[in-house]
Amino acid sequence: MEALFIGENVAVDERLKNVISRFYYVDAHEIDNSVSYHYPPSLEMMIIFSFGSPIHCSFGESEILDHSLEKIAVIGPLRKIMNYEIAVGSEFLVLPFIYDGFYRFFSLSIEGMSEGKLSEKEVATYNSTLEKIWKALSELSTNKERVDWMSNYLITHLNPSSTGALPLLDAIPSLDTAFNPVKVIAHDHAVSERTIQKRFRKYTGYSPKELMRFLRFKQVITYISGKELKEVDWFDVIYKFGYHDQSHLNKDFKYYTGTSPAKFAGLNLQRNFCFHPEGR
């Protein structure tokens, strides 16, 4: 049985194309029953502003929705599948940031945030900003108004990318998972491989190896998206995307989704898997 799709994606202003992938909002005041979905892993940060019933969720293999998202939720990097339930009366706006967009917006250090080393002043400013945004959005009556307000706010308050991050950010969209990204970027920008390795962790929050593993997996789920289970040749997937064998492929599916390739394909076909192939 297909799940009811009740969300809507909104394209971003051209000035925000390297900041967030899109706006996504849900208004579930007219549904009769709660609807369950799954959201795939993502290395980027995501903010959810909720204005209605709480969103209940869990992560990985857990089927118990033991987390409750109310008002404001900041999620990421999401290394496991997120299972969530949209209840009757849910209403929320999602900002899926890309690259260093989240950190440019909040003027935060990626290293400081990922290692829990933000100063008290940084934490206070960060929390205050989120509360201020939520309050302004909650006073608007339509999601279109919220998207317009949020677009203008982002454009006005964005900071430039760090100079050291630019070679990485410029290279990421065109990286080929068949090649070593450290060698490619180091060669293109005439710096040492060690420098690139250090900058990856500093400016993205993850290692080149983790990025390439993740990008390859996203290519796999893009490839099988919308296909009937019987149409998927898993041996072809293994060969096409450079996996060693079936066990290697199974390991990535287990790591990122908590389930097997076949079960994931079934969830995706039922359309209760919230997947946006253009995102990273």
Q: With bands split at pLDDT 50, 70 and 90, how would you rate the model's confidence at 280?
A: very low
> Where is 5: in which H helix or E strand?
none
- How confident is the model over 77-124, as pLDDT tens digits? 887 888 888 889 999 999 998 877 888 888 766 666 666 667 788 788
- Residue 63, classed as helix, strand or coil, is coil
pLDDT at site 176: 59
Mean pLDDT of all residues belonging to the chain: 80
Detail the DSSP E strand segments found in 51-113. 55-59, 67-69, 72-75, 82-86, 91-96
CA atoms within 13 A on the CB side of 63: 1
In-domain check, residue 95: yes
DSSP sequence for 197-262: HHHHHHHHSS-HHHHHHHHHHHHHHHHHTT--GGG--HHHHHHHTT-SSHHHHHHHHHHHHSS-HH
- How confident is the model over 186-200, as pLDDT tens digits? 777 777 878 777 777
Task: Note whether 42 and 104 are same-domain residues.
Answer: yes
pLDDT at site 173: 58
In-domain check, residue 274: no
Tell me how many domains the chain contains: 3
pLDDT at site 5: 56
Q: Between 10 and 263, whose confidence is greater? A: 10
Task: Note whether 84 and 193 are same-domain residues.
Answer: no
Task: Note whether 200 and 238 are same-domain residues.
Answer: no
The residue range of the domain holding 118 is 7-157
pTM for the model: 0.76
In-domain check, residue 196: yes
Task: Note whether 128 and 67 are same-domain residues.
Answer: yes
Mean pLDDT of 7-17: 88
In-domain check, residue 276: no
